[in-house]
Amino acid sequence: MGAFNDLFAPRGRRIPQISVLETIAEYANQPLTAREVIEMSGVSRRGAYLILQRYIDDGILLRFPAKPGKKGVRYGLNPNDVRARTLKLLEPLLIIGQLESEIKRDEGVPQEARLGISILNRASETDGVQTKGAEAGRKKDGGR
């Protein structure tokens, strides 16, 4: 875990708000208790509760009742919030990019030669080729 922090936080830092969100996003299909969020994100107890409440107030997270026979409410992404749905979709891509970067680092590939999130980079490379082809076609057709 840590893909969102790697992407959005200054190098070597972890931002508590991002840590809580990436923990929730990583387990998007199973709401987590506050205790689980605290343990997995590394955020302080007080900080985690404040952040969870803020995201509930903003509509990104929902509070789910405790499972039968268990204590503690659970927190999960709000399926009706576009930001929460986007987080759920982005998390696997960011993890793939993070894993690719770690593998290349272990293999000794220089930082500037790493693609980072290869799936996203490959799509943009393909788009560039299509754009150049479309541009050539427009010139051929007289600029239409």
Please work out, in degrees rounded to the nearest 5, the angle formed at the alpha carbon of residue 128 by the alpha carbons of 122 and 134.
140
**Residue 131 is assigned to a structural domain of this protein:** no
Query: pLDDT tens digit string along 88-135?
Result: 888 777 677 667 777 777 777 665 555 554 434 433 343 444 344 444
**Residue 45 is assigned to a structural domain of this protein:** yes
The range of the structural domain enclosing residue 31 comes to 3-80
* β pairing state of 61-64 and 74-77: antiparallel
**Residue 90 is assigned to a structural domain of this protein:** no
**Residue 134 is assigned to a structural domain of this protein:** no
How far are the Cα atoms of 7, 8, 48, 104 from residue 12, in angstroms, in the given order? Answer: 11, 11, 20, 19
For the entire predicted model, the pTM comes to 0.65
**Residue 127 is assigned to a structural domain of this protein:** no
Question: What's the number of domains the chain is made of?
Answer: 1
Report the CATH number that the domain containing residue 11 is assigned in CATH.
1.10.10.10
